């Protein structure tokens, strides 16, 4: 697949030709697929839980065997000692999200990390108490923000500004976000957005939002749950104060696995910044002196609380190695072609049957297309499952389809569109 422009064709031959020319095709063999009649299922729910890398089991077993043979000495001995284990993922993670190694750490889960960041970066005052977020943010983020606002003695109904699409529209207009910052910026303590909305699949311009918010004196954070491993990110250059993400979706780290944190390097050595402290965030050069006073490590590691779960890190390491080899620029190019091909096939379906609510501009979306159906969407989901195609449903009528480029083929997209067409014509 060379060049940037592809002339799509609605034929199985074309889909197979695209797969044959795909330089990333070998990565598909690195994953384990659910079985459907003796064949790999078509898996379009990597935006919910990614597939298991083949090497994940071996890496977890390695850690278990070290525990068996070495006991506590496994912290310091073996091929991958546990004491520095999270550091084995640091440089890969930095490349994945476009950051410096100092700025990232793998730890905790997303909502825990979000609360830790809010402790440091949501510092409301009577003159500037507000948080700006999406009206359609993932519920966990809404709960976390409301609880933090109440904790500081403010009123979520008054002090959370919720960005909503214009009447009759599905997604936010970028200019409306910037206009809200211009109008209310002096009241806003923190801007917190998901850089890809979980329902609509809309992606936001993090650099433009960060610049506009900082101009107004606001702090800026992003939830990258649907962005990490999906979009080509440049967190350091875009300049938000922090970002958090999970690793069980596009990053294929396994159910409930550890998340990640980015803290911009301008905060790296600010020891006066309020934070919740824990032993693992203490300067590792003096950690085992067991002193009573907390001395945070520079950078994102200074927000760590406890020693991380090694088995989860091991499973995530298997996937992060694949991302590092494939590279996000290459994955993003394939992703744009996969979603472009899916959109092309959807446009050929009977008029009125399906509407793509995700922006058509590839710069405003990732691997997910959110599809609103006019004809029995729940029955359609049953047909997809019966055909060995895994998608997910969001009430009342949205099916989310996410052809993740590490393991999705163009032929998968072609087959998916074929099931939709048959349902449309039933």
pLDDT tens by residue, 163-203: 999 999 999 999 999 999 999 999 999 999 999 999 999 99
> Mean pLDDT across the chain, nearest whole number?
96
pLDDT at 50 over 50: yes
Q: How far apart are CA 97 and CA 112, in angstroms?
A: 20
Q: Looking at residue 5, what is its pLDDT? A: 73
Q: How far apart are CA 342 and CA 9, in angstroms?
A: 11
- Domain 61-324, second-level architecture: 3-Layer(aba) Sandwich (3.40)
pLDDT at 2 over 80: no
Q: What is the pTM of this model?
A: 0.96
Q: pLDDT digit string (tens) for 94-151? A: 999 999 999 999 999 999 999 999 999 999 999 999 999 999 999 999 999 999 999 9
pLDDT at 3 over 70: no
Task: For residue 382, count other CB atoms closer than 10 A to its CB.
Answer: 12
Q: How confident is the model at residue 414 (pLDDT cuts 50, 70, 90)?
A: very high
pLDDT at 396 over 90: no
pLDDT at 18 over 90: yes
Q: Looking at residue 4, what is its pLDDT? A: 61
- Mean per-residue pLDDT for 51-57? 98
Q: How far apart are CA 277 and CA 356, in angstroms?
A: 45
Positions of CATH 3.40.640.10 in the chain: 61-324
Residue count of the chain, please give it.
426
Where does residue 218 rank: exposed (0-12), middle (13-18), buried (19+ CB within 10 A)? buried
Classified as helix, coil or strand, 352 is coil
Class of CATH domain 12-32+327-425: alpha beta
Q: Looking at residue 75, what is its pLDDT? A: 97
Q: Which residues contact 27 (CB under 8 A, 6 or more apart)?
A: 322, 326, 406, 407
- Mean per-residue pLDDT for 66-83? 97
Positions of CATH 3.90.1150.10 in the chain: 12-32+327-425
Q: Looking at residue 115, what is its pLDDT? A: 98
Q: Looking at residue 1, what is its pLDDT? A: 43
């Amino acid at each position: 697949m060379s060049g940037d422009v592809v002339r799509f064709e609605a034929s199985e031959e074309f889909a197979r030709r695209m797969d044959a020319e795909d330089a990333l095709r070998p990565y598909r063999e690195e994953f384990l697929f659910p079985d459907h009649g003796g064949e790999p299922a078509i898996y379009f729910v990597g935006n919910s839980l990614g597939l298991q890398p083949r090497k994940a089991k071996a890496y977890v077993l390695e850690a278990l065997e070290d525990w068996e043979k070495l006991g506590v000495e496994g912290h310091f001995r073996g091929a991958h000692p546990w004491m520095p284990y999270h550091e084995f993922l640091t440089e890969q993670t930095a490349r994945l999200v476009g950051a410096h190694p100092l700025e990232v750490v793998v730890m905790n889960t997303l909502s825990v990390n979000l609360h830790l960041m809010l402790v440091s970066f949501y510092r409301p005052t009577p003159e500037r108490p507000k948080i700006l977020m999406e009206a359609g943010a993932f519920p966990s983020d809404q709960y976390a923000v409301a609880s933090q606002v109440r904790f500081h003695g403010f009123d979520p109904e008054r002090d959370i500004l919720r960005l909503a699409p214009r009447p009759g529209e599905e997604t936010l207009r970028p200019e409306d976000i910037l206009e809200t910052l211009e109008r209310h910026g002096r009241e806003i303590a923190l801007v917190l957005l998901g850089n890809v909305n979980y329902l609509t699949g809309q992606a936001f311009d993090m650099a433009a939002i960060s610049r506009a918010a900082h101009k107004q004196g606001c702090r800026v954070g992003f939830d990258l749950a649907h962005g990490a491993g999906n979009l080509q990110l440049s967190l350091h250059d875009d300049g938000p104060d922090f970002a958090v993400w999970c690793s069980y979706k596009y990053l294929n780290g396994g159910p409930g696995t550890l998340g990640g944190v980015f803290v911009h390097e301008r905060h790296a050595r600010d020891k006066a910044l309020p934070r919740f402290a824990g032993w693992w965030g203490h300067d590792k050069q003096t950690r085992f002196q067991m002193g009573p006073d907390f001395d945070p490590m520079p950078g994102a590691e200074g927000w760590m609380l406890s020693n991380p779960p090694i088995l989860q890190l091991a499973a995530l390491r298997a996937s992060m190695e694949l991302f590092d080899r494939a590279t996000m620029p290459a994955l993003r190019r394939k992703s744009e072609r996969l979603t472009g091909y899916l959109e092309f096939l959807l446009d050929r379906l009977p008029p009125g049957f399906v509407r793509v609510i995700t922006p058509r501009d590839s710069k405003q979306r990732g691997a997910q297309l959110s599809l609103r159906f006019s004809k029995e969407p729940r029955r359609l989901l049953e047909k997809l499952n019966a055909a060995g195609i895994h998608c997910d449903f969001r009430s009342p009528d949205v099916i989310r389809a996410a052809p993740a480029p590490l393991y999705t083929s163009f032929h998968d997209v072609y087959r998916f569109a074929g099931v939709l067409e048959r349902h449309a014509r039933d």
